[in-house]
Amino acid sequence: MNSVIRNINILYGAELELIEDHEIWFENGVISEIAPMSKEKSDYEIDGQDGYLIPGLIDLHVHVIWDGSEDPVSMTEKEGYEQMLMRAVSNGHHYLEHGITTVRDIGSIDDISIHVSKAIRRGVIKGPEIITSGKTLTMTGGHDPFWANFVDGKDAALKGVREQIYKGATVIKISASGGVYGRSEGESAGQSELSLEEMTIICDEAHKFGLDVASHAIGRESIKNSILAGVDTIEHGHYMDDELMDLMEEHKVAWNPTLFVYRQVAEHQGVPEYARKKAKDIVKIHDAAFKKYHKRDILIGAGSDAGSPGVSHHALKDEIYAMNETIQDNKETLKTATVTAGKILKREKGIILEGYEADLVILKDNPLENLEHLNTVQRVFARGESVFKIN
Ligand SMILES: [Zn+2]
């Protein structure tokens, strides 16, 4: 079955170039043709109502089981497994309604995200494509222990990464440093955790099987070790500096700074005090690093840490707004959640171009004029299937 969208303005190609008087055809979940208007018959014809067609949005850092309340860890402890699973499914629908057609979940209790991701892929339930690690590889007692597969030493690291791949992970997540939220005692954000040797083994094995490695890294030593170990993305990366940025460029490591979540943890009412205090200490450092390095020759992607304290499952837009305060260029900022995010995932995603996945969002208004127009979603297609339509 082929489909066509007519009467639409298209943000075309890797430069999000606005083109008019064209129509877009897709078949078997893939964009087949973008061509001048024709009268050719299709199996399914969609009237774009003179709206704006953008690539489906990509959030590179989420936690589908969390609820974005002030204290999601307590919530999951109270709810239990079955409710977490239901919530993850429901959050999947939420992403689609906001035009988010791909998410990367890098931390999930009992590998729930892997199960949800498989169900979506098999067509059992509707949702975004979820590229996910399931559990994270973490040292015993390290960052986010509640969803960790604890690994200590090189043999355990090798076993851990193989276990996650065996269960169906499509990306590997490691904790190179402590964090801000998750444990009320005994954790410091700048403290290095997994060693260079442990991380190197994990990266080598993941890459052997075609999986990328995402590293939670806040302190400078943890960022440096992650880069040298061969990770593909640095998550957060607060203490980025000149030497580290040179290394990022040299090793072609992408950066998902996740600015919004730390602001929320620092400012949002009701977030546990231990976390607010730690976030307050590093928010300024984080913002300064992003200001200083956002123009460097690396891929920078949008990740919201959705589900974290005070971070909704459509907070990708908040992350976009937070980045645009510095970037000050609607098109360049929009790329972090579309074109560049697709490149970071190394998949045919995030670009409206022949051969790319038909993840498509019709907006009423032009996001290049104002990024708030990302809130005017009319219709959403995920892998060519109509998954959301406004009443
Ligand atoms: Zn996270």
Q: What is the pLDDT of residues 295-314, one digit of tens each?
A: 999 999 999 999 999 999 99
259 CA distance to ligand 1 centroid (A)? Answer: 12
241 CA distance to ligand 1 centroid (A)? Answer: 22
Write down the mean pLDDT value for the chain: 96
Q: What percent of the chain has pLDDT over 70?
A: 100
| 389: nearest Cα among 352, 367, 362, 369 | 362
173 CA distance to ligand 1 centroid (A)? Answer: 10
Residue type, 20: E
pLDDT over 90 at 189, yes or no: no
295 CA distance to ligand 1 centroid (A)? Answer: 24
Domains and CATH numbers, the chain: 2-55+351-389 (2.30.40.10), 57-345 (3.20.20.140)
pLDDT over 90 at 269, yes or no: no
| 103: nearest Cα among 286, 255, 301 | 301
35 CA distance to ligand 1 centroid (A)? Answer: 40
Instruction: Give the pLDDT score at 190.
Output: 85
Compute the average pLDDT of residues 276-280: 89
pLDDT over 90 at 375, yes or no: yes
pLDDT tens per residue, range 310-343: 999 999 999 999 999 999 999 999 999 999 999 9
303 CA distance to ligand 1 centroid (A)? Answer: 9
Are residues 179 and 166 in contact, defined by beta-carbon separation less than 8 angstroms? no
Distance CA 48, CA 46 (A): 6
Compute the average pLDDT of residues 152-167: 98
Radius of gyration of the chain (CA): 20
Instruction: Give the pLDDT score at 184.
Output: 78
174 vs 183, residue with greater confidence:
174
Which band of pLDDT confidence, cut at 50, 70 and 90, is reported for residue 188? confident
Q: What is the pTM of this model?
A: 0.98
305 CA distance to ligand 1 centroid (A)? Answer: 5
Instruction: Give the pLDDT score at 358.
Output: 98
111 CA distance to ligand 1 centroid (A)? Answer: 14
Q: What percent of the chain has pLDDT over 90?
A: 93
105 CA distance to ligand 1 centroid (A)? Answer: 8
322 CA distance to ligand 1 centroid (A)? Answer: 17
- CB burial string 263-286: b at 16+ within 10 A, e below: bbbbebeebbeebbebbeebbeeb
180 CA distance to ligand 1 centroid (A)? Answer: 10
Residue 138 — left, alpha, or beta (φ > 0 → left; ψ -120 to 50 → alpha)? beta
Distance CA 262, CA 308 (A): 10
pLDDT over 90 at 82, yes or no: yes
371 CA distance to ligand 1 centroid (A)? Answer: 24
DSSP label of 335: H
278 vs 374, residue with greater confidence:
374
Compute the average pLDDT of residues 63-85: 94
